[in-house]
Amino acid sequence: MNKFLLIFFLSTFCFSQSSKEKAKTYLTEKNYEKAQQELTSFIEANPSDIEAIELLGDAYGYQKKWDDAIEQYEKLKDNYPKNANYHYKYGGALGMKALSISKIKALGIIGDVKRAFLKAAELDPNHIDTRWALVELYVSLPGIIGGSNSKALKYANELQNLSKVDGYLAKGYVYEYDGEPELAEKYYKLAIKVGGSVTCYDKLTNFYESNHQPEKAIGNLEEAQQKHQRNAMHYQIGKVCADYNVQLEKGEKCLKAYLSNHSAKDGVPKAWAYYRLAQIYKHKKNKSEALKWIDKAIAGLPDIKVFKEEKTLITKL
């Protein structure tokens, strides 16, 4: 081969590869638009690169560009019909689109969502994410269009055979939505016993809050804090105390601990902790302290409507 052409092809190949690697880096950094740009250019030169097509679908999905994501995943599942993950991703993008459009329009694609997930489950008996998707789908759909708690439990049982923690969490989820709180609590507690992750504790805490059981929520959060030593849980305890007007001294102590140890990884901005402290002092009828903390919250995040509404309530004390 002509030496010039060899150098040209090699440099083009290296450029293309570096373009895809850049896109991966952008995805890791959550810079999805730049990842999309890199991958679009790469695929123009490499239209059959499977990995790049999937990554482009992911980049679109992260940006909630559901039609574009569907287009990429559809190429993959049509060309590789025995790949469970492509069917799963296609169904997932369709499902997210269904949530973003009117209910009438969504009815037209629910069947395709279900078929995609069922195909993925059939192709890969060990695909955990697909079974979770089916649990959530059968729980959320009305019975008239295919919702079924018995089918949701079937896939929860399959999950339990693959992963006890996932199975217990899935059963807790199904029973919670089926109006059987005692069974839901039982399975969420089993998930904590077997797995004990932050996610397991979060599921039980959210369950208690949604069922207006703040004391149990606080107890669960304290247990989680002892095990995982996460500063964010101080905020969560304070939030429950403030929302339900219970254990106010504990809530105040936890929120101040949260502020003292705050870092970016905690997730919740300090202004929200100021707001919760203002709520606690409002419950205590301590108007001056409540105003002090709500003013700090507003200064930190001046566009949050609920902060201003809280100040109005405090000024009426």
Write the pLDDT tens digit of every residue in 215-250: 999 999 999 999 999 999 999 999 999 999 999 999
Residue 43 scores a pLDDT above 80: yes
The conformation of residue 144, written as its DSSP 8-state character, comes to G
Q: In angstroms, rounded to a whole number, what is the distance separating the alpha carbons of residues 115 and 60?
A: 22
The pLDDT tens digits for 180-212 are 999 999 999 999 999 999 999 999 999 999 999
The pLDDT value recorded for residue 270 is 97
Q: Confidence band (pLDDT; 50, 70, 90) for 146?
A: low
pLDDT reported for residue 21? 86
For residues 170 and 83, give the distance between their C-alpha atoms in angstroms, rounded to a whole number.
24
Per-residue tokens: 208: 């208690």
Q: Which residues contact 12 (CB under 8 A, 6 or more apart)?
A: 45
Backbone φ and ψ of 204, nearest 5°: -70, -40
In whole angstroms, give the CA distance from residue 126 to residue 85.
11
For the chain, the average pLDDT equals 91
């569907």: which residue's tokens? 70
What lies within 8 Å, CB to CB, of 29 at 6+ separation is none
Residue ranges of the domains in the chain? 230-317
Taking 50 as the threshold, does the pLDDT of residue 13 lie above it?
no
Structure-block tokens of residue 201: 């504790």
> Residue 164 carries which side chain, given as an amino acid letter?
K
Q: Is the pLDDT of residue 6 over 50?
A: no
CB 214 within 8 A of CB 240: yes
Are the C-beta atoms of 26 and 45 separated by less than 8 Å? no
Question: Which DSSP letter does residue 41 get?
Answer: H
Q: Tokens for 289, please give them.
A: 């302290």
Residue that is written with structure tokens 């870092």 in the block: 263
Q: What's the gap between Cα 12 and its chain centre?
A: 39
Which string of DSSP letters, residue by residue, matches 141-190?
S-GGGT--HHHHHHHHHHHHHH-HHHHHHHHHHHHHHTT-HHHHHHHHHH
User: Rounded mean pLDDT of 47-55?
Assistant: 93
pLDDT in tens, 278-287: 999 999 999 9
Half-sphere exposure for 144 (CA within 13 Å, toward CB): 1
Per-residue pLDDT tens digits for 147-170: 688 999 999 999 999 999 999 999
Per-residue pLDDT band for 251 (boundaries 50, 70, 90) equals very high
- What tokens appear for 223 in the block? 């247990």
261 CB-near residues (< 8 Å, 6+ apart): 231, 234
Q: Which two tokens stand for residue 147?
A: 């919702």
Decide if pLDDT at 11 tops 50. Answer: no
Q: Is 80 exceeded by the pLDDT of residue 124?
A: yes
Q: Which two tokens stand for residue 301?
A: 């995040």
- Residue-wise pLDDT tens digits, 69-122: 999 999 999 999 999 999 999 999 999 998 888 888 888 888 999 999 999 999
**Which of 106, 130, 108, 132 has the alpha carbon at shortest distance from 119?**
130
Q: What is the pTM of this model?
A: 0.84
Task: Determine the average pLDDT of the residues in 127-155.
Answer: 85
Q: Which fold has domain 230-317?
A: 1.25.40
- Amino acid (1-letter code) at residue 248: L
Please check the confidence at residue 10 and state whether its pLDDT lies above 50: no
- Mean pLDDT within 260-267: 93
The C-alpha atoms of residue 178 and residue 170 are separated, in whole angstroms, by 12
d(CA 28, CA 22): 10
